[in-house]
């Protein structure tokens, strides 16, 4: 009887230049060689799942992601891996790529950020995993505040709007969005003004860290209307 192997995969989304990106590696060895895939690999017998996914990220991309959330277990497709019966526990996170330096190693010949609008064909069933992560991220903005580690310390409110629209990949009702988001109290208006190009000057905002962390822990319900 063939032994079942356990693997981990990391879906790491990045936000930069007003767009959502995905971290991928190009595989170096025989199985799906030269194809793009999610960072990941087999779990060692003596390590925790969270340690395994962080190790794979470090080995294949050179980065450490401070917080990864367990996403889903993939194993219903019996032939998802040509090397045998493999069950994968996927994790996902959202980071600022500008704070990270990629460095491919071990079984990855390259590590690269891809815009979500231009994702290449992926190895294994990784397209299914990415789709599941997108669905989770879309749902997450309704029950957890997003943006503390992704935006500058001070930012115009339009940056928050652009972040949420990049995640949801839809235009939002800006007036309704602003009114509701400000009602939660984790955004504070400063007395500083932001002016860019010929646009109308706008007040800068900052995150109320304590309130943000409280809502992040407790969750909240944020109904977003679309334009």
Q: Determine the Cα angle at 17 with ends 141 and 210, to 5°.
A: 45
Q: Report whether pLDDT(1) > 60.
A: no
Mean pLDDT of 179-201: 86
User: How many whole angstroms separate alpha carbon 81 and alpha carbon 125?
Assistant: 8
Is 218 catalytic? The answer is no
What pTM, to 2 d.p., does this model score? 0.92
The dotted CATH code for 5-140 is 3.90.79.10
CA proximity to 74, closest of 91, 57, 58, 61: 91
pLDDT tens per residue across span 199-226: 678 899 999 999 999 998 998 899 999 9
Q: Can you give the pLDDT at residue 72?
A: 97
Catalytic residue, from 69, 110, 154, 216: name it. Answer: 110
Domain ranges of the chain: 5-140, 155-218
Residue 179 has a pLDDT of: 96
**Residues 127-137: pLDDT tens digits?**
999 999 999 99
155-218 and 5-140 share a CATH fold:
no
87-108 average pLDDT score = 93
- For domain 155-218, the CATH class is mainly alpha
Selection from 32, 221, 40 nearest residue 139 by Cα: 221
Q: Encode burial over 21-30: b for 16+ CB neighbours within 10 A, e otherwise.
A: bbbbbbbeee
- List Cα–Cα distances, 201 to 85, 158, 204, in angstroms: 58, 11, 10
Within 8 A by CB and 6+ apart from 192, the residues are 154, 203, 204
């Amino acid at each position: 009887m063939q032994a079942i192997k356990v693997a981990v995969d990391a879906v790491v989304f990045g936000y930069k230049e007003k767009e959502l990106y995905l971290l991928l590696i190009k595989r170096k060895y025989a199985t799906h060689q030269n194809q793009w895939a999610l960072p990941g690999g087999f779990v060692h017998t003596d390590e925790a799942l969270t340690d395994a996914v962080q190790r794979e990220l470090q080995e294949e991309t050179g980065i450490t992601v401070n917080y990864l959330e367990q996403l889903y277990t993939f194993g219903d497709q019996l032939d998802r891996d040509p090397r045998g019966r493999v069950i994968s526990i996927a994790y996902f996170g959202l980071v600022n790529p500008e704070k990270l330096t990629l460095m491919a190693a071990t079984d990855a010949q390259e590590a690269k950020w891809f815009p979500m609008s231009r994702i290449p064909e992926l190895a294994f069933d990784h397209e299914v995993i990415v789709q599941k992560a997108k669905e989770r991220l879309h749902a997450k903005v309704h029950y957890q505040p997003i943006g503390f580690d992704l935006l500058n310390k001070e930012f115009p409110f339009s940056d928050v709007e652009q972040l949420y629209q990049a995640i949801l990949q839809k235009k939002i009702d800006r007036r309704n969005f602003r009114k509701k988001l400000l009602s939660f109290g984790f955004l504070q208006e400063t007395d500083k003004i932001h002016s860019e190009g010929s646009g109308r000057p706008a007040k800068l905002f900052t995150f109320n860290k304590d309130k943000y962390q409280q809502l992040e822990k407790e969750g909240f319900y944020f109904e977003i209307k679309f334009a």
